[in-house]
Amino acid sequence: MEGFDDKSNIGYPIPGIFLNTDTGAPMTNCIQCDYDLLKGDRYYVIEKVYKTYPEMGTTEVLFEYAICSHCYEKMKDELSAESMANLSQYMLENTDVEAMQARIEENPNNPEAWLSHCMIKGTPIQGLSEYQIGACFLGDRLMTDFMPPFLIGNMAIEEMNSILSQKTKDQMDDFMNDNFGIPPELRKDLILI
Protein backbone atom coordinates (compact mmCIF):
# COMPACT_ATOMS: atom_id res chain seq x y z
CA MET A 1 0.00 0.00 0.00
CA GLU A 2 2.14 2.85 -1.23
CA GLY A 3 1.09 6.52 -1.14
CA PHE A 4 0.21 8.95 -3.90
CA ASP A 5 2.08 12.10 -4.94
CA ASP A 6 -1.04 14.26 -5.39
CA LYS A 7 -3.83 13.24 -3.04
CA SER A 8 -5.79 16.49 -3.11
CA ASN A 9 -8.48 15.13 -5.43
CA ILE A 10 -8.83 11.59 -4.08
CA GLY A 11 -10.82 10.30 -1.16
CA TYR A 12 -12.66 12.53 1.30
CA PRO A 13 -11.53 14.93 4.02
CA ILE A 14 -11.19 13.14 7.36
CA PRO A 15 -14.73 12.99 8.82
CA GLY A 16 -15.13 14.51 12.28
CA ILE A 17 -15.98 11.14 13.79
CA PHE A 18 -12.42 9.95 12.97
CA LEU A 19 -10.62 12.91 14.51
CA ASN A 20 -8.87 12.56 17.85
CA THR A 21 -11.58 12.67 20.49
CA ASP A 22 -9.49 14.70 22.95
CA THR A 23 -8.07 17.30 20.56
CA GLY A 24 -10.49 17.41 17.62
CA ALA A 25 -7.45 17.25 15.33
CA PRO A 26 -6.36 14.44 13.02
CA MET A 27 -4.49 11.54 14.58
CA THR A 28 -0.90 12.14 13.58
CA ASN A 29 1.16 9.10 14.57
CA CYS A 30 1.04 5.33 14.35
CA ILE A 31 0.36 3.78 17.75
CA GLN A 32 3.01 1.10 17.15
CA CYS A 33 5.95 2.81 15.41
CA ASP A 34 5.13 6.53 15.83
CA TYR A 35 5.29 7.07 12.04
CA ASP A 36 4.02 10.49 10.89
CA LEU A 37 0.73 9.48 9.27
CA LEU A 38 0.00 12.89 7.77
CA LYS A 39 3.05 12.70 5.49
CA GLY A 40 0.68 10.99 3.08
CA ASP A 41 3.03 8.31 1.83
CA ARG A 42 1.60 5.39 3.81
CA TYR A 43 -1.95 4.18 4.30
CA TYR A 44 -3.25 3.83 7.84
CA VAL A 45 -6.33 2.62 9.69
CA ILE A 46 -8.18 4.41 12.46
CA GLU A 47 -10.34 2.37 14.80
CA LYS A 48 -12.49 3.63 17.66
CA VAL A 49 -14.50 1.68 20.21
CA TYR A 50 -17.63 3.25 21.73
CA LYS A 51 -19.90 2.45 24.66
CA THR A 52 -23.38 3.89 25.06
CA TYR A 53 -24.70 4.91 28.49
CA PRO A 54 -28.48 5.21 27.92
CA GLU A 55 -29.20 6.23 31.52
CA MET A 56 -26.96 9.27 31.00
CA GLY A 57 -27.88 9.81 27.36
CA THR A 58 -24.24 9.71 26.25
CA THR A 59 -21.87 7.67 24.16
CA GLU A 60 -18.21 7.61 25.11
CA VAL A 61 -15.08 6.57 23.23
CA LEU A 62 -13.45 3.75 25.22
CA PHE A 63 -10.28 3.92 23.15
CA GLU A 64 -9.07 4.96 19.73
CA TYR A 65 -5.93 4.52 17.72
CA ALA A 66 -4.33 4.93 14.32
CA ILE A 67 -1.99 2.31 12.95
CA CYS A 68 0.09 2.55 9.77
CA SER A 69 -0.25 -0.04 7.04
CA HIS A 70 3.18 -1.53 7.77
CA CYS A 71 2.37 -2.16 11.43
CA TYR A 72 -1.22 -3.21 10.62
CA GLU A 73 -0.03 -5.86 8.14
CA LYS A 74 2.65 -7.05 10.55
CA MET A 75 0.07 -7.39 13.32
CA LYS A 76 -2.36 -9.23 11.04
CA ASP A 77 0.44 -11.58 9.92
CA GLU A 78 1.04 -12.47 13.59
CA LEU A 79 -2.57 -13.59 14.06
CA SER A 80 -3.21 -17.28 13.67
CA ALA A 81 -4.06 -18.58 10.21
CA GLU A 82 -7.12 -20.25 11.74
CA SER A 83 -8.44 -16.93 13.08
CA MET A 84 -7.82 -15.08 9.82
CA ALA A 85 -9.61 -17.80 7.84
CA ASN A 86 -12.51 -17.83 10.31
CA LEU A 87 -12.84 -14.03 10.24
CA SER A 88 -12.66 -13.90 6.44
CA GLN A 89 -15.35 -16.55 6.14
CA TYR A 90 -17.53 -14.83 8.73
CA MET A 91 -17.25 -11.48 6.96
CA LEU A 92 -17.94 -13.03 3.57
CA GLU A 93 -21.05 -14.84 4.81
CA ASN A 94 -22.46 -12.13 7.09
CA THR A 95 -21.59 -8.64 5.83
CA ASP A 96 -24.65 -6.93 4.36
CA VAL A 97 -22.86 -5.47 1.35
CA GLU A 98 -26.10 -4.39 -0.33
CA ALA A 99 -27.20 -2.34 2.68
CA MET A 100 -23.75 -0.75 2.95
CA GLN A 101 -23.83 0.11 -0.74
CA ALA A 102 -27.33 1.60 -0.38
CA ARG A 103 -26.15 3.87 2.48
CA ILE A 104 -23.22 5.02 0.37
CA GLU A 105 -25.45 5.70 -2.64
CA GLU A 106 -27.99 7.61 -0.50
CA ASN A 107 -25.24 9.80 1.01
CA PRO A 108 -22.38 9.78 -1.52
CA ASN A 109 -20.57 12.76 -0.01
CA ASN A 110 -21.25 12.07 3.67
CA PRO A 111 -19.07 9.19 4.93
CA GLU A 112 -20.35 9.60 8.51
CA ALA A 113 -23.86 8.68 7.27
CA TRP A 114 -22.44 5.39 6.01
CA LEU A 115 -21.85 4.46 9.66
CA SER A 116 -25.51 4.47 10.67
CA HIS A 117 -25.89 0.68 11.00
CA CYS A 118 -23.84 -2.38 11.92
CA MET A 119 -22.47 -3.77 8.66
CA ILE A 120 -23.11 -7.34 9.88
CA LYS A 121 -26.40 -7.34 11.79
CA GLY A 122 -27.94 -4.18 10.31
CA THR A 123 -28.72 -2.83 13.78
CA PRO A 124 -29.07 0.97 13.80
CA ILE A 125 -26.34 2.73 15.75
CA GLN A 126 -28.96 3.99 18.23
CA GLY A 127 -29.71 0.37 19.19
CA LEU A 128 -26.12 -0.59 19.97
CA SER A 129 -24.71 -0.66 23.49
CA GLU A 130 -21.15 -0.93 22.17
CA TYR A 131 -19.65 -0.69 18.72
CA GLN A 132 -16.45 -0.04 16.87
CA ILE A 133 -15.82 1.97 13.75
CA GLY A 134 -12.87 2.01 11.42
CA ALA A 135 -11.66 3.31 8.10
CA CYS A 136 -8.60 3.57 5.90
CA PHE A 137 -6.76 6.86 5.34
CA LEU A 138 -3.87 8.33 3.39
CA GLY A 139 -2.49 11.59 4.75
CA ASP A 140 -5.47 13.80 5.51
CA ARG A 141 -7.87 11.87 3.27
CA LEU A 142 -10.37 9.08 3.96
CA MET A 143 -9.81 6.40 1.34
CA THR A 144 -12.45 3.97 0.17
CA ASP A 145 -10.51 1.98 -2.44
CA PHE A 146 -9.60 -0.80 0.04
CA MET A 147 -12.62 -0.71 2.32
CA PRO A 148 -15.41 1.72 3.09
CA PRO A 149 -15.71 3.05 6.63
CA PHE A 150 -17.30 0.37 8.78
CA LEU A 151 -19.32 0.03 11.96
CA ILE A 152 -19.58 -3.29 13.79
CA GLY A 153 -21.98 -3.66 16.73
CA ASN A 154 -21.51 -5.59 19.94
CA MET A 155 -23.49 -8.67 18.83
CA ALA A 156 -21.31 -9.12 15.72
CA ILE A 157 -18.13 -8.40 17.69
CA GLU A 158 -19.07 -11.12 20.20
CA GLU A 159 -19.70 -13.60 17.38
CA MET A 160 -16.40 -12.71 15.73
CA ASN A 161 -14.53 -12.96 19.01
CA SER A 162 -15.97 -16.45 19.56
CA ILE A 163 -14.29 -17.76 16.37
CA LEU A 164 -10.82 -16.48 17.21
CA SER A 165 -8.10 -18.85 18.35
CA GLN A 166 -6.65 -18.48 21.83
CA LYS A 167 -3.34 -17.41 20.22
CA THR A 168 -5.11 -14.52 18.47
CA LYS A 169 -7.01 -13.52 21.60
CA ASP A 170 -3.72 -13.47 23.51
CA GLN A 171 -2.13 -11.27 20.84
CA MET A 172 -5.07 -8.85 20.97
CA ASP A 173 -4.82 -8.80 24.76
CA ASP A 174 -1.12 -7.93 24.45
CA PHE A 175 -1.94 -5.12 21.99
CA MET A 176 -4.51 -3.68 24.41
CA ASN A 177 -2.20 -3.92 27.40
CA ASP A 178 0.85 -2.55 25.56
CA ASN A 179 -0.98 0.41 24.03
CA PHE A 180 -3.74 1.25 26.48
CA GLY A 181 -2.69 -0.38 29.75
CA ILE A 182 -5.83 -2.50 29.75
CA PRO A 183 -5.25 -5.94 31.31
CA PRO A 184 -6.84 -9.00 29.64
CA GLU A 185 -9.54 -9.39 32.27
CA LEU A 186 -10.85 -5.89 31.51
CA ARG A 187 -10.34 -6.02 27.73
CA LYS A 188 -13.34 -5.38 25.57
CA ASP A 189 -13.52 -7.48 22.46
CA LEU A 190 -11.38 -5.93 19.75
CA ILE A 191 -11.48 -7.27 16.25
CA LEU A 192 -8.90 -6.13 13.73
CA ILE A 193 -10.58 -5.84 10.35
Q: Which is higher by pLDDT, 38 or 183?
A: 38
- The model carries a pTM of 0.88
Q: How confident is the model at residue 2 (pLDDT cuts 50, 70, 90)?
A: very low
* Contact predicate 191/160, CB 8 Å: yes
pLDDT of residue 180: 82
Identify residue 8 by its one-letter amino acid code.
Answer: S
Q: What is the pLDDT of residues 134-190, one digit of tens each?
A: 999 999 999 998 788 999 999 999 999 999 999 988 888 888 888 887 766 556 566
Specify which residues 181 forms β-bridges with. none
* Residue 74: partners with Cβ closer than 8 Å, 6 or more residues away: none
Specify which residues 117 forms β-bridges with. 124
Q: What is the pLDDT of residues 39-92, one digit of tens each?
A: 999 999 999 999 999 889 899 999 999 999 999 999 888 888 999 999 999 999
Domain edges within the chain = 12-181
Phi, psi of 27 (to 5 degrees): -75, 130
pLDDT of residue 5: 45
pLDDT of residue 6: 46
Specify which of 6-10, 25-29, 189-193 reaches the highest per-range mean pLDDT.
25-29
How many C-beta atoms surround the C-beta of residue 153 within 10 A? 22
Tell me the helices (H) and strands (E) count for the chain, helix number first: 5, 6
Strand 12-13 and strand 150-153: the pairing is unpaired
